[in-house]
Amino acid sequence: MRRVIGIDIHRTFGEVVIWEKGVLRHAGRVDMTRTALEGLGRALEATDEVVIEATGNSMAVSRVLSPFVARVVIANPLQVKAIAHAHVKTDKVDAGTLANLYAAGYLPEIWTPDAATERLRRLVARRYQVVRHRTRVKNEVHAILAAHLVPKCPHADLFNGRGRAWLERQAVPDDERLAIERNIRELDRLTEDQAGLDREIALGVMDDASVRRLMTITGVNLTVVTGIMAAIGNIARFDSPGKLVSYFGLNPRVRQSGLGAAHHGRISKVGRSHARAMLVEAAWAAAKAPGPLHAFFVRIRAKRGHQVAAVALARKLTVLCWHLLTKEEDYLWARPALVAKKTRDMELRAGLPQKKGNRRGPAYAYNVKELRAQEAKLARQAERTYEQFVARWKTRPPRAPAGAQRPGPPAE
């Protein structure tokens, strides 16, 4: 006999409702602790199916209850409109609505990542928070200097050795000097934390063929790749590149009513925001390097401007990632010396020792000026090929309607 267990979970407790033969029955509350959840799991049947909404602790709840029941389903809260727009909204009603929707087959569920992907997601999220904190600390120091009319630092980085030496010579009040020193100490601590997270991330993905494959794309480094792979998980769950574009929120909004034309607006931004930011960052880097991606950026920029061109290039990178991962192929216009350098940087970030006597290894080739120039020349040639292809595509004759007879050869 099929039963569906709906649980409206909160930070400290969850409301449990059981659906059976079309009838809902309230089963009380359960504390959000491992002991209490295991007790609930032992009270359930092996054929039961549990439904919860995606929250901060939903993955932990799923891991605890999964051994006791047939399946644990995590629903997408943004798409459960029956709960979001209900006039009568209580924990019991929400749990019952989850059970009813799943029993009727109308529940929009999310993909549950495996343990390795979930760990990578946590590490990437923590690194992102550390980077944001470092940025805030740096901005506080710049704000102090601007408040006291201190001129701009003549060095490239205010927080490297020469920049800090210049900062110590600036005349600021004593309390502001103490504030700057506190921020510098905090910045050093955060830098150490970021290096530790980088080491954990690099060690976890060093042997991942998908990560090495995506690093062959121009402008895509390890930080971008780990952000993308943490969001994707298994590429097989996206049966088309458009699905992946939509998952990252890079698809345009479309509005159409009746027989009117469809209006395309800005990108939806519904999906993995961190991966979308990483792709836009990679797009700006790819736009500066010679190659087909640069030519695409220039073509869109001429019509729509820099910002739209960067987002369009981020979308193209998403499509490119889908094809490379699905077909298990490297980027056609990869620059071998640059790829070797990115791979070696990943190894060093993971803490691998320096290789003795490896001055002629693959990564060293990036330091050879002639080789870099040769690869850049090939990239510019690929860029010109792309431009010629686009020019031919724009001047092609219009496609004949379906069923129309193709014109034959000219009469002699």
Q: What is the pLDDT of residues 329-349, one digit of tens each?
A: 999 988 888 888 898 889 889
The predicted model scores a pTM of 0.82
pLDDT at 412: 38
Residue 176: is its pLDDT beyond 90? yes
Q: How far is CA 203 from CA 207, 226, 363, in A?
A: 8, 12, 19
More confident residue, 98 or 186: 186
For 67, which DSSP code?
G
Average pLDDT over residues 290-297: 92
pLDDT-wise least confident of 144-148, 169-173, 407-411: 407-411
Q: How far is CA 39 from CA 36, 43, 138, 297, in A?
A: 5, 6, 49, 57
- Which element (helix H / strand E) includes 30? strand 23-31
Residue 401: is its pLDDT beyond 90? no
Q: What is the pLDDT of residues 79-127, one digit of tens each?
A: 777 666 666 778 888 888 888 888 888 888 888 888 899 999 999 999 9
For 45, which DSSP code?
-
Q: How far apart are CA 342 and CA 220, in angstroms?
A: 9
Q: How far apart are CA 62 and CA 56, in angstroms?
A: 12
9 and 52 in contact (C-beta within 8 Å)? Answer: yes
CATH of domain 3-104: 3.30.420.40
Q: What is the pLDDT of residues 346-391, one digit of tens each?
A: 988 988 876 655 555 555 566 677 777 888 888 888 888 888 888 8
Task: List, as one string, the DSSP characters of 218-237.
Answer: TT--HHHHHHHHHHHS-GGG
Residue 409: is its pLDDT beyond 70? no
Q: How far apart are CA 251 and CA 270, in angstroms?
A: 9
Residue 159: is its pLDDT beyond 50? yes
Q: How far apart are CA 220 and CA 227, in angstroms?
A: 11
Q: What is the pLDDT of residues 254-278, one digit of tens each?
A: 776 666 666 767 888 888 889 999 9
Q: What is residue 246's three-state secondary structure?
A: helix
Residue 326: is its pLDDT beyond 70? yes
Q: How far apart are CA 188 and CA 243, in angstroms?
A: 41
Q: How far apart are CA 21 and CA 1, in angstroms?
A: 9
Task: List, as one string, the DSSP characters of 68-134.
Answer: GSSEEEEE-TTT-HHHHT-SS--HHHHHHHHHHHHHHT---B-PPP-HHHHHHHHHHHHHHHHHHHH
pLDDT at 358: 52
* Residue ranges of E strands in 260-401: 263-267
Q: How far is CA 150 from CA 147, 161, 289, in A?
A: 8, 19, 36
DSSP 3-state percent helix, strand, coil across the chain (nearest 5): 55, 10, 30
